[in-house]
């Protein structure tokens, strides 16, 4: 296969207002890095705005650009997977469409890759501009909790903005799972990975495409994908509660023997309510894993392509 030296992969959901500026800046950064030997892969993740027509217009004018229109909104991580699966570059830059991650950092990231002989250069957010206090707080908490419960060390405060070598990307694409938490999966593959600190900018236009519901789902995919700690937690709680109920049985037996039992509506209700809550919680956690097991067992393709504008050079293995 005739591979370009560089692929830049961008998942886009309702980003029409960002695309022109994005295309210009990414093109500038790519040219500065590798001359003409690059491709840009835009993935339209079922946008409801004009993203697709804008992409078609850009692709018609730029032979470096390939735009992929997914059949519907598959979600950030799967849209990104589609782009990675269909790109062909020797080096791959993953970047968000909203220009929060400056494309101009490409030069320094490549430099770091060369200097350190790395397969992955991942960008670590030193500061985050223009994001709400709530977003920063939940993000900070998320990465720290994740770090505690996962068996794979996943770098803190790191998004998907990163530069990868072809062999690292091929390793990543060999993981077939549906529930994809890509920054964790990249950490899992190993090879030599080095951090690259940067300040995260504000969105160029529009608003975040990650409402709370998507954030929660994302967090659950991350935890369940990389840790069985919640299941272990369930068995620990079970063990402690068993110990506690043994004590309780002794206490009840004592009351029965000494004839002092009766009263006790309050304590009974407390036990019922607490046990009920704990059981529901633990069941729910088991359900999270079971549901994912079910989804994985169906072995559906990870994404469906509806239209393509421009030359697709990669060989798809995960989509349809």
Residue ranges in contact with Mg ion by CB under 5 A: 96, 98, 100
Rg over CA atoms, the chain: 24
**Is 45 an interacting residue with respect to ligand UDP (CB under 6 A)?**
yes
Least distance between ligand UDP and beta carbon 260 (Å): 60
Determine which residue in the list 143, 198, 210, 233 makes contact with ligand UDP, applying CB under 6 A. Answer: 210
**Is 42 an interacting residue with respect to ligand UDP (CB under 6 A)?**
no
Query: What φ, ψ does residue 207 adopt, rounded to 5°?
Result: -125, 170
Residue range at the interface with ligand UDP (CB under 6 A); choices 95-103, 117-125, 219-227, 237-245: 95-103
Least distance between ligand UDP and beta carbon 112 (Å): 23
DSSP assignment string, the chain: ----SEEEEEEESS-HHHHHHHHHHHHHHHHHHHTT-EEEEEEE-S-SSSHHHHHHHHHHH-TTEEEEEESS---HHHHHHHHHHH---SEEEE--TTSSS-GGGHHHHHHHHHHHT-SEEEEEEEEE-S--HHHHHHHHHHHHHHHHH-SS---TTEEEEEEEEHHHHHHHHT---SS--HHHHHHHH-S-EEEEEEEE---SSS--S--HHHHHHHHHHHHHHH--HHHHHHHHHHHHHHHHHHHHHHHHHHHHHHT-----HHHHHHHHHHHHHHHHHHHHHHHHHHHHHHHHHT---S--EEEEES---S--SS--
Burial class (CB in 10 A: 0-12, 13-18, 19+), 130: exposed
Least distance between Mg ion and beta carbon 122 (Å): 16
| Residue 73 binds which of Mg ion, ligand UDP, none (CB < 5-8 A, kind-dependent) | ligand UDP
Least distance between ligand UDP and beta carbon 272 (Å): 42
Least distance between ligand UDP and beta carbon 185 (Å): 16
**Is 100 an interacting residue with respect to ligand UDP (CB under 6 A)?**
yes
Report the residue count for the chain.
320
Q: Which is nearer to ligand UDP, 124 or 229 (CB)?
A: 124
| Residue 227 binds which of ligand UDP, Mg ion, none (CB < 5-8 A, kind-dependent) | none
Determine which residue in the list 125, 183, 204, 209 makes contact with ligand UDP, applying CB under 6 A. Answer: 209
Q: Which is nearer to ligand UDP, 11 or 314 (CB)?
A: 11
Q: Which is nearer to ligand UDP, 15 or 157 (CB)?
A: 15
- Number of shown-chain residues binding ligand UDP (CB under 6 A): 16
| Residue 55 binds which of Mg ion, ligand UDP, none (CB < 5-8 A, kind-dependent) | none
Least distance between ligand UDP and beta carbon 133 (Å): 14
**Is 208 an interacting residue with respect to ligand UDP (CB under 6 A)?**
yes
Least distance between ligand UDP and beta carbon 207 (Å): 7
CA distances, 299 to each of 1, 241, 296 (Å): 28, 38, 6
**Is 221 an interacting residue with respect to ligand UDP (CB under 6 A)?**
no
Enumerate residues 53-82 that contact ligand UDP by CB under 6 A: 73, 75-76, 79
Q: Which is nearer to ligand UDP, 102 or 255 (CB)?
A: 102
Contact positions vs ligand UDP (CB under 6 A):
11-13, 15, 45, 73, 75-76, 79, 96-98, 100, 208-210
């Amino acid at each position: 296969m005739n591979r370009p030296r560089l692929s830049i992969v961008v998942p886009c959901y309702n980003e029409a207002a960002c695309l022109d500026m994005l295309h210009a800046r990414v093109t500038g950064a790519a040219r500065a890095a590798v001359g003409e030997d690059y491709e840009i892969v835009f993935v339209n993740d079922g946008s409801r705005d004009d993203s697709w027509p804008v992409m078609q217009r850009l692709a018609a004018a730029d032979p470096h650009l390939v735009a992929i229109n997914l059949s519907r909104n598959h979600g950030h991580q799967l849209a990104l997977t589609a782009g990675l699966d269909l790109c062909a570059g020797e080096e791959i830059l993953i970047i968000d469409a909203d220009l929060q991650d400056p494309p101009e950092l490409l030069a320094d990231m490549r430099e770091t890759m060369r200097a350190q002989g790395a397969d992955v250069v991942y960008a670590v957010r030193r500061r985050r501009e223009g994001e709400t206090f709530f977003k920063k707080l939940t993000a900070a908490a998320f990465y720290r909790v994740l770090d505690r419960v996962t068996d794979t060390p996943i770098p803190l405060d790191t998004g998907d903005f990163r530069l990868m070598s072809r062999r690292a990307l091929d390793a990543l694409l060999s993981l077939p799972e549906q529930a994809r938490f890509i920054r964790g999966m990249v950490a899992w593959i190993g090879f030599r990975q080095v951090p690259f600190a940067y300040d995260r900018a504000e969105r160029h236009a529009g608003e975040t495409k990650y409402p709370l519901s998507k954030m929660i789902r994302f967090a659950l995919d991350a935890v369940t994908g990389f840790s069985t700690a919640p299941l272990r937690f369930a068995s620990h709680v079970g063990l402690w509660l068993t110990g506690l109920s043994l004590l309780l049985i002794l206490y009840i037996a004592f009351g029965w023997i000494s004839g002092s039992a009766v009263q006790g509506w309050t304590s009974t209700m407390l036990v019922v309510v607490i046990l009920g809550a704990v059981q529901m919680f633990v069941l729910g956690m088991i359900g999270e894993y079971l549901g994912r097991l079910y989804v994985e067992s169906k072995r559906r393709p990870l994404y469906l392509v509806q239209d393509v504008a421009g030359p697709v050079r990669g060989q798809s293995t995960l989509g349809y």
